[in-house]
Amino acid sequence: MTIDSLISDAALIEQARGGDRSSYAELWRRHSQAGIYAARSFSKDFDPEDLVAEAFAKIFAALQRGGGPTASFRSYLLTTIRNTAMVWARKLAEDSSDTLDSLADIAAHEDETVAALNRTITVSAFRSLPSRWQEVLWYIEVEGLKPHECAPLLGMSANSAAALAYRAREGLRQAWIRAHLNDRNSPPECRWTIERMGAYTREKSPARDRAKIEAHLENCARCTIVLSEADQVESRLHVTLIPLALGATGSLGYLAWLQSSAGSAVGAASEIPASAMLSDPGTPAAPGTPAAPGPGSVASIAGSKAGLTVGGILAAVAVTAGAILLPPLLGGGESVTEAPNGGASSSAEAEANSTDTDADGTVSNATGTTPASVVSPPSVSVTQLLGASITAPASALTIPIFNFEPATTFGAAQPLITGQAAPGSTVTLLVSGAGSAPGTFTTTTGASGGWEIQLTDLPNGLYTARVYQTDSDNVRSEVNSTTFSVDSLVTLAAPAISAVDSGGGLYSPLISGTGAPGSAIIASINGIPNAATVAADGTWIIESSLGSLPGNNTVTATQVSHLTHTRSAASPATSYQLMTPTIAVSTVTATNIVLTVTAEPGTRVTLEEVGGGYTHNIPRTVDTDTVRITGTRAARGATHGFTVAARYVSDDGSRVGVATTTVYTPTGG
């Protein structure tokens, strides 16, 4: 199956969670090479390619159980590699008590290092950010990618990635400043200054506060350092996050790769069979298994962090972690030659039985609610980014997120508070501050997961917003919080939406409009944000439209000034309609499955089996078309059932529509 290169990692993760192996193969192509360079640091006694294959297998198994990552796949993979390496190393050392004792000491050092890094203000601030911001900061600030290089991994255009990175950096600065408020040893005058430092850095402080802050900074070295470091905090992320994900030792190979030519250009995919990543997660793959040529190329790390050196990073880690010693994972004096037990990787999928199956079954047709770029339900678990070892339980309800960055200023007394949560959940918002009585508001999310709550008559001042969601079983998520302010003296006109081009209702739209040059545009499609930057001529265009659904859609646009951090009111809502093909299952036997596809005549339609297996292109539809599936694919589908999705695709393949899906369930299945 061909995977759209603009599908984000988060969308691929959700498709893989539903059993789509082709989506997981795309994650393999994007990230396996990075994993191999990280794995090379751990030990010479097992093949790094085997270690990476085992890590991918574990993640895939976690996804099938409903757990695993929801975003930030790269960092999750790195931590899983580190955890797997430790498990393998313990197995190799079991026959030697000396080696086992040495390994225990090493593991303790690694744990101490990671624990110390976890206590840093930088990590605390980073983890408080929405997962989307964490992800873009990892790629741009930690790995040194350019916006156009990480855009495919984020499922957006280069302009959108740049705008997202801008908001994420500003959010990190504000979070870093707020994290200092948790220091109970701060004198009252320092706490007062730090509380207002966010507004001060954005030049939003009242004149009296500004004078008091500047007077304090003249005599307080601590607060002066906090202020100066806030502007540079993103440049230090690699010092903590790479060792936190990989451990001090595992960082060596990865950082060396980032500095090398291998890490400064798009590289070939690792020569490991993609099936290896789907091996039985219960038995580690045997190191040394022969490799087969890998499929295609990997969208891997491009560019390196300026001034980033392995020695410098590890020295910084030692300082950050309290001068903790950083020994190699397996001591140089011991040579361990036995591989972990468990045998070779096995294929995760066997061919279906070819015996005849009753043609009768249950067919359900459901219009897919997945957008054209397959947006997954949002998740902002603050522990998610740093890997499998600290993931919340799979059953936990994710925290809803806000669609605006912390410390946003609304220029009107009626701010529209927006965000994302699980589709169909009940969102509760609590707002307090500025001397007004706290308010509680509720709403229900739609199929896209977007939510919005209109506030009214808020006096000027600073507010705190807290939000949580409740599902149909009355399970409640943790609370997410942010701050915003209302300042009626600051005005920023709403942007205008000029055109919504959906190709006659066939494709997710290209949305264009006008705004203030340099401002960030947030176009909300059914509550799901899409970002762009207003060009110098005052125009903008959204090239990747997240949130589109079959049927009626609405889009509004707001803009945020990069100078004042002010968010405008929303533009008037614009509606558009999207059509989808329809699929009917006409015949099902062990040798023959017949699908009937009804679509707009003369259009191009692509069919894909959800979970892998086949794809079929109808280059020119004739109103009603018949697609026939035979052989082992028919036998497998008749026995086990199948789900097939259909969507419109432009002739050049550059635009796609939203999908409709049909599910076939065998009788008794």
**H or E stretch at 641:** none
* 458 close to 488: Cβ distance less than 8 angstroms: no
Identify the pLDDT of residue 260: 55
Helix (H, G, I), strand (E, B) or coil at 663: strand
* 316 close to 239: Cβ distance less than 8 angstroms: yes
**H or E stretch at 13:** helix 9-17
Please tell me the CATH code under which domain 397-486 is placed. 2.60.40.2550
Amino acid at 261: S
The set of residues, in sequence order, having a beta carbon less than 8 Å from that of 296 and lying 6+ positions away, is: 29, 269
Which string of b and e fits 270-280 if b means at least 16 CB within 10 Å? bebbbbbbbbb
| DSSP letter assigned to residue 297 | B
- pLDDT mean values, one per 10 residues, the chain (669 residues): 63 85 86 84 74 89 85 85 82 56 47 58 77 85 83 82 83 75 68 77 77 81 67 61 67 62 36 41 36 30 35 39 28 27 29 30 33 29 28 55 84 84 91 78 89 88 90 87 85 92 92 91 87 89 81 92 80 94 90 91 89 79 87 84 89 86 79
**H or E stretch at 160:** helix 158-179
Q: CA-CA distance, 515 to 538, in Å (whole number)?
A: 5
The set of residues, in sequence order, having a beta carbon less than 8 Å from that of 636 and lying 6+ positions away, is: 351, 352, 613, 642
What percent helix, strand, coil does the chain show, rounded to 5? 35, 20, 40
Identify the pLDDT of residue 443: 94
How do the domains of the chain map onto residue ranges? Answer: 9-174+235-320, 182-231, 361-370+580-666, 397-486, 496-578
303-306: list long-range contacts, CB under 8 Å, 24+ apart. 303/143, 303/144, 303/145, 303/146, 303/149, 303/263, 303/264, 304/144, 304/258, 304/259, 304/263, 304/264, 305/141, 305/142, 305/143, 305/144, 305/238, 305/258, 306/144
* 69 close to 106: Cβ distance less than 8 angstroms: no
The set of residues, in sequence order, having a beta carbon less than 8 Å from that of 290 and lying 6+ positions away, is: none
* 484 close to 440: Cβ distance less than 8 angstroms: no
Fold annotation for 361-370+580-666: Immunoglobulin-like (2.60.40)
From the number of C-beta atoms within 10 Å of its C-beta (0-12, 13-18, 19+), residue 377 rates as: middle
The distance in angstroms from the start CA to the end CA of the chain is 26
DSSP string, 162-176: HHHHHHHHHHHHHHH
Identify the pLDDT of residue 603: 93
Lookup result for tokens 């109808």? 618
| Cα-only R_g, the chain | 26
The set of residues, in sequence order, having a beta carbon less than 8 Å from that of 143 and lying 6+ positions away, is: 74, 238, 258, 301, 303, 305
The set of residues, in sequence order, having a beta carbon less than 8 Å from that of 31 and lying 6+ positions away, is: 73, 74, 77, 298, 300
The set of residues, in sequence order, having a beta carbon less than 8 Å from that of 69 and lying 6+ positions away, is: 13, 59, 63, 76, 384, 391
Lookup result for tokens 């790769």? 257
Same fold, 397-486 and 496-578: yes
Identify the pLDDT of residue 325: 27
Cα 609 to Cα 104, 328, 616, 644, distances in angstroms: 47, 46, 9, 4
Identify the pLDDT of residue 629: 86
Fold annotation for 496-578: Immunoglobulin-like (2.60.40)
Sign of the dihedral through C-alpha 116, 118, 120, 123:
positive
174's tokens: 């504000």
Closest CA to 41 of 85, 87, 92: 85
Identify the pLDDT of residue 39: 83
Closest CA to 223 of 211, 209, 237, 213: 213
Helix (H, G, I), strand (E, B) or coil at 278: helix
Q: CA-CA distance, 446 to 339, in Å (whole number)?
A: 51
* 45 close to 28: Cβ distance less than 8 angstroms: no
* 522 close to 403: Cβ distance less than 8 angstroms: yes
Strands, E, within 460-550: which ranges? 461-470, 480-486, 496-501, 510-514, 520-525, 528-533, 539-542
